[in-house]
Structures are given as C-alpha cells and as structure tokens.
Amino acid sequence: MSSDDTKVCQAEVILSAAYNCIAVQGYANTSLRDIAESAGVVLSQINYYYKNKEGLFIEVIKMMIKKHRVEMESRIQLGETAVERLISLINYYREVLENNPKIFRLLFDFSSMALWSETFGNLLYSMYDDLAILIEKHILIKDLANTRLAHFAPQSIARMVIGAMFGTAIQVMLNPQNKRITDSLSAIELVLA
C-alpha cells in the first residue's frame, strides 16, 4: 500500500468515526479527542487531514448529503407512476427512521448549526434544494398537469413534501416509542391523490 493510499484510508477512518460520534453524541457533545479515540488515531492526524473541527464537520456534512441523496434517488426511481415513486420515497423514510435514524440525528444537528454558520447553512440549503429538485423531477413534473395541484409550482409542492417528511422525522426522533407517528408519512400520498 502506498503512502497516498494510507493517507486516504486514515482520512476515511477519521471521517467515519466523526460521523458515528456525532450521530450518537451530537455535535455539541463530540470533541476532536472523542473522534481521534474512536478512529484510533492521534489528535494531530485530524488536524493534518481536516485542519480543524469545522473542516472535519464540513466533510461529514458532505458525506451525509451524498449518502442521503444517492439512497433517496435510488428509491424514488423504483416506481412506475408518480404515486408509486412517492410511496417508495415514503417507505424509504419510514425504513430509515425505524432502522437507522443516525442520518436524521446528524441532519437535525447540522440543520441547527446551519442557522449560525454560513458555511453549514449553504451546504444544508443546497441539500434541501437538491432534494426538492429530485422530487420535482421524478415525482411531480409529469403527473401534476391534470390534478387539483396544477396551479402550484412543482417546486413549492416538492418543498411541502420535504417539510412533511422531515417534520415527521423530528417528531419520531423526539418520541421514538410512538410507532404511530411514522403512519403520518402515508398522508403525504394525498398530495397526488
């Protein structure tokens, strides 16, 4: 293995450790020392690869966004009709909430930070914008023409769908014992009914 391969590998180990530490402990409760310990590296290696805590967390946000977008787009494309694609997207969110809520913990933590950091804010806004475009492209554009929603801009409807899904996710994260909360995701289907 070359030294460049070792550098990439260590950088990825650190990034993965940061992702997991923040998902479990939250941004405010995660120190670089925690991440270094989890990654099995010395603290100076984090600074070497990522310069500082903000640099590392920016890369964690980018990784989270990329992972979420790829998974979401692959699920949207499963259906033949707009309703089937929307149901597939809803089922994806339900599965993530039930089986792997880490991504939502990270998303909500970073969304909170984005209110105070222009860099984080730009990254998160870009993610929400990208998700709205995916929903427009794969679910809404072709199938709104003859519905009661035809006079609304597809982007407005896409953002409403995103708001409903993420709003439901927040409620689930706050009360994970209430399994009925995720049932409200199915109500999003009414958008295209």
Domain extent at residue 122: 60-191
Q: What pLDDT is attached to residue 50?
A: 92
79 and 160 both lie in a single domain: yes
Q: Are residues 86 and 104 in the same domain?
A: yes
| 77 and 33 inside one domain | no
Task: Give the CATH number, domain containing residue 2.
Answer: 1.10.10.60
Q: Give the Cβ contact number of residue 21 at 10 Å.
A: 22
| pLDDT < 50 regions, the chain | none
pLDDT at position 7 is 61
Distance between CA atoms of 107 and 72, rounded to whole angstroms? 14
Q: Which residues contact 153 (CB under 8 A, 6 or more apart)?
A: none
Tokens of 169: 């996710």
pLDDT at position 126: 92
| pLDDT in the model for residue 45 | 93
pTM score: 0.80
Question: How far apart are the C-alpha atoms of 75 and 64, rounded to whole Å?
Answer: 17
Same domain, 47 and 64: no
pLDDT for 98: 85
Give the CATH number, domain containing residue 111. 1.10.357
110-113: long-range contacts, CB 8 A cutoff, minimum separation 24: 110/27, 110/57, 110/61, 110/64, 112/27, 113/27, 113/57
CA–CA dist 133, 119 (Å, integer): 21
Structurally, the chain folds into a number of domains equal to: 2
Query: Is residue 31 located within the same domain as residue 92?
Result: no
pLDDT tens, position by position, 27-75: 889 999 999 999 999 999 999 999 988 899 899 989 888 888 898 889 8
125 with 167, same domain: the answer is yes
Are 29 and 101 in a shared domain? no
pLDDT at 154: 81
- Same domain, yes or no: 29 and 97: no
Q: Are residues 46 and 67 in the same domain?
A: no
